[in-house]
Structure 1
Amino acid sequence: MEEKARAAAASPEEDAKRRCDSLIDQLQHIPRTKLSPSSKTTLCRLINSELTFLHRISAAAASDLNSPPLSLNIGHLEAVVHVLRQPSVTGVSRVCKPIEFSKSSSVYVDVVCSLNGNPVWFIVSGRNPRCISWNGGSSEKDKGLRKKIQLVVDAARHSPVTLRPSSVVLFFSNGLGDDVYQKLRCEFKALDVKLEPLSYHELELEEEWTDVVLGRLFPDACAVRIQIGEDGIVRAKDISENRIGGPVSCNKCCEHSGFDPGLSLSSLVTGMKCWCCSLDDEVELQVGLMNQSWRDVEAKLVNFDTTAMVAIASGISNGRTEKLLATPERQLRDRFKGNYDFVITQVDSENQNPIHRELSGLISGKRGIICESVRLEFQELIAMCGGPNEKLRAEFFLKFLKVVPDCPSTRLMSLPTTRKLALKNKVVFGTGDYWCAQTVTANMAFVRAVLQTGMSLSIVEHRPRALIGD
């Protein structure tokens, strides 16, 4: 009650400062795997510009009827951060910047990202719905919503393949008048998009929970999407043919596998959604992918790269850390040669944050896939470097996945092949992108190189783990 009273008594500029501080706090809690550093820097700069402006206004000037408005951008920035916090929004590569197509042509986009695994552009409006007109007003500055949308849609359709979105999503944080909404549906074939009504009283962090972050909830918000091209890059194909032989994962599979993988790995795989439980589940997946109905496609599939496969099978991730630390240092240095420090760092990391537990929350309820290139590379690594138990864990985990052909998305393959954008990585990540699946990886050098091109990429980062011959 006292906090509410203080908030009510606060001056307009103090309230605006509080909102800016809240935005900065919220930004710090957005995982770095979702929001690129350059995007976070851009948002922080915009918010700090608002704060600088607000600090220049004295209480006397704020009460002056002739003084300028406090800020025109806080509401817009709050809406942008609300979009960024959506669980379905991943791989944010650009925020609040124009996309330039030539020296004389550009279009302003609030968020370039992946939504449910599909590349999209977000255009955000924090205006009062009564001030949003379809065809514009008498003022030369008021061009109307229709013309603005047409410019963005045309730019999206003619943008380079690497930046071209499957859809443009319009987010009206304060709602939209029914007449304008109906025109959007009629003229642009706009479809509703469901965003989560986030609670700002509880914010999930990587390790714990906090209840100190405040923000707006936007109860009247309206979000629609306008399709640009093919929705995502998923094709109608039966991936059930392209899997490793034998039954694939259900909770009972662990009991009949003939191998005890240990509690940690068992917990990881039993949390994943299996491929063999029911035909209905398989049909539901295929129908969802074929129709691209914008149900939670991303929640259905997760793509593993080689680093993830190695980390899951590694003895470090499967309870061998104490044994390693109990081994004399000289023996370990003779065993791992120049990789000794690298291995010990991973052992310390595992003891602090067990990787199976970390991944469990990220891939729970999802079906796992790997592409053919990953399968071949992983099996070669296991054969050369894996110990007996690591080989058994590798074989065990592969039974829970489906192998799909190398089928990288057009947009990933359109990137130039360079040292940082190696062809084999484009194939692996591109196959995940093709299936609208997040790729689990420790290869952040490749991810950063992709984001620097402006392309969104949906990934789950994990800490690296090495094979130790266990």
Structure 2
Amino acid sequence: MDTKITAEKKIKLAEKILSHLSNIKINGCSKLQNKIKQEINFLEKCLSDNTLKEEHLVCLNLTHLQAIAYKLFILKNRCSGVMCNKILNYENGSSRKICIDLLLDEGSVWMKVIARNQKAITMVSNGECSFKQKSVLDQAEEFVECSKQNLCYYKPPKVIFSFANGVENCVADELCQIGVLVENNNNNFNDEIFNSYFGDNTNNEYPIKDLNIVRNLNLIKKMTHIKLNLGVTTLIAYVSALTNGGCNYNFKSEILQKHAEWERNRPVKPILDSLFEGKELYCCATAAKIFKNILNTLGGKSEKQRGEELLNKLIIVEDKPCDRLKIMGKVKKRSLAIFGTGEYLKAVTVTANHAFVRAAMNQGINYSVFLHESRALTEEKQLPT
């Protein structure tokens, strides 16, 4: 086929993929879009300058990016990150970034997409290349080691290598021995396959309500070994009149009105009940003390009663503050006690304190958390109906 026609077809397909990607709101998706745009710009420049050569099409990274997009569309309901970097530390003190094409199941699964042909993969794996080039076996060892250094819910993420054009059994067997799960598509992944998926009839809408919460909930429920550490915001939300049948009242406070509206649309307690089922529930001494003080000051009669019942179900432990974070802005001393205790217990901290989690991430600390919406104590502020 004429080189120019091939390039034009690739541009058209890439633009179609970009159109569909614009509807996906997942962290890192914009990075994938930008890389595809760079490839389009390169081809368009070569066409306009009349400098396009066949080797330009061979060396394009577009096929790999298209393969990532294809897997993203298939797995979008499980995906929480695209082209995310993780740090791999070496024994000599050096480090490098490892790019994870797709983060699945809230980061508990890492997927790398490989779009090279089978023979090339095997040749490089056997050292049959004219220059130093990393094989998929080298990459697999790095990914597995990196996963051990970047735990998710206190366990190394599973590593999957997805081969868009398949992989020969000899390489797949070695990957399995290293500890990588192999997805062998073996479907000769070409532009026609991309076109059949990203055709004009592809649905552009992805209306899944509270997808992050549902996905995280389902994941944690499967982890029978996981303990839960409840923060103050969770304790309050669980016993609030709003989450226990009182969301249809009106309030003078605009914030409480908004909380009531949220609760009518997105009830919190069923999510927490489902999360708590079969799990050991912990709470640090600071969280229990603050919760009791808030209940005594702001809680209504029923809220106080539910609070006492909830505290009786918890295992209250002494504080184990985190010493890796600086106290500043949204990072308060009490939060360090709550989240540090969760880390010490190897528990998932259940919280509505999104601000602290973001502040910790800004300092390079990622806690194992389950985030939900906040709910205030409202029983004493309900207006008569």
TM-score (norm 1): 0.56
CA-CA distance at 1:79 after TM superposition = 6.4
Alignment size in residue pairs: 339
- Counterpart in the other structure of 2:21: 23
Give the AA of the match of 1:463. E
Give the AA of the match of 1:17. E
Q: Say if 2:111 is the partner of 1:145.
A: no
CA-CA distance at 1:76 after TM superposition = 4.8
CA-CA distance at 1:179 after TM superposition = 1.1
SS of the aligned residue for 1:14 comes to: helix
CA-CA distance at 1:191 after TM superposition = 5.8
Aligned partner of 2:275 among 342, 358, 363? 363
SS of the aligned residue for 1:68 comes to: helix
CA-CA distance at 1:449 after TM superposition = 1.9
- Counterpart in the other structure of 2:302: 389
Give the AA of the match of 2:369. I
Residues 102, 110 of structure 2: 8 Å contact kept: yes
Aligned partner of 1:110 among 83, 100, 119? 100
- Counterpart in the other structure of 2:284: 372
Higher RCO (CA < 8 A, seq sep 6+) = 1
Q: Say if 2:178 is the partner of 1:178.
A: no
Give the AA of the match of 1:132. I
SS of the aligned residue for 1:367 comes to: coil
Q: Give the Cα–Cα distance (whole angstroms) in 2 for the partners of residues 369 and 428 of structure 1.
A: 13
SS of the aligned residue for 1:440 comes to: strand
Q: Give the Cα–Cα distance (whole angstroms) in 1 for the partners of residues 314 and 273 of structure 2.
A: 20
Residues 305, 370 of structure 1: 8 Å contact kept: no
Give the AA of the match of 1:169. V
Distance 1:131 1:361, change over 3 A: farther
CA-CA distance at 1:428 after TM superposition = 3.0
State the superposition RMSD in angstroms.
4.8
Residues 5-404 of structure 1: pairs in structure 2 closer than 5 A: 11-26=9-24, 28=25, 30=26, 35=27, 39-53=28-42, 65=54, 68-69=57-58, 71-78=62-69, 81=72, 85=76, 87=78, 95-97=83-85, 99=87, 105-110=95-100, 123-133=112-122, 134-151=125-142, 166-167=156-157, 169-174=159-164, 175-186=166-177, 188=178, 190=179, 192=181, 203=206, 205-206=208-209, 296-297=222-223, 302-325=228-251, 332=252, 340-356=253-269, 359=271, 363=275, 367=279, 369-373=281-285, 374-398=287-311, 401-403=313-315
SS of the aligned residue for 2:57 comes to: coil
Q: Give the Cα–Cα distance (whole angstroms) in 2 for the partners of residues 414 and 156 of structure 1.
A: 24
- Counterpart in the other structure of 2:193: none
Residues 110, 122 of structure 1: 8 Å contact kept: yes
- Counterpart in the other structure of 1:464: 374
- Counterpart in the other structure of 1:428: 338
Summarize deviations over 1:342-366 as a string: whole Å, max 9, x none.
3333234334444335x36973866
Q: Give the Cα–Cα distance (whole angstroms) in 1 for the partners of residues 107 and 224 of structure 2.
A: 5
CA-CA distance at 1:305 after TM superposition = 1.9
Give the AA of the match of 1:417. K
Distance 1:152 1:360, change over 3 A: closer
Give the AA of the match of 1:22. H
Residues 417, 423 of structure 1: 8 Å contact kept: no
SS of the aligned residue for 1:363 comes to: helix
Summarize deviations over 1:222-259 as a string: whole Å, max 9, x none.
xxxxxxxxxxxxxxxxxxxxxxxxxxxxxxxxxxxxxx
TM-score (norm 2): 0.66
CA-CA distance at 1:51 after TM superposition = 4.9
Distance 1:447 1:319, change over 3 A: same
- Counterpart in the other structure of 2:5: none
Give the AA of the match of 1:403. I
Which blocks of at least 5 consecutive residues in structure 2 are unaligned? 1-7, 184-196, 212-216, 381-385
Which blocks of at least 5 consecutive residues in structure 1 are unaligned? 1-9, 209-271, 274-293, 326-331, 333-339
Residues 110, 123 of structure 1: 8 Å contact kept: yes
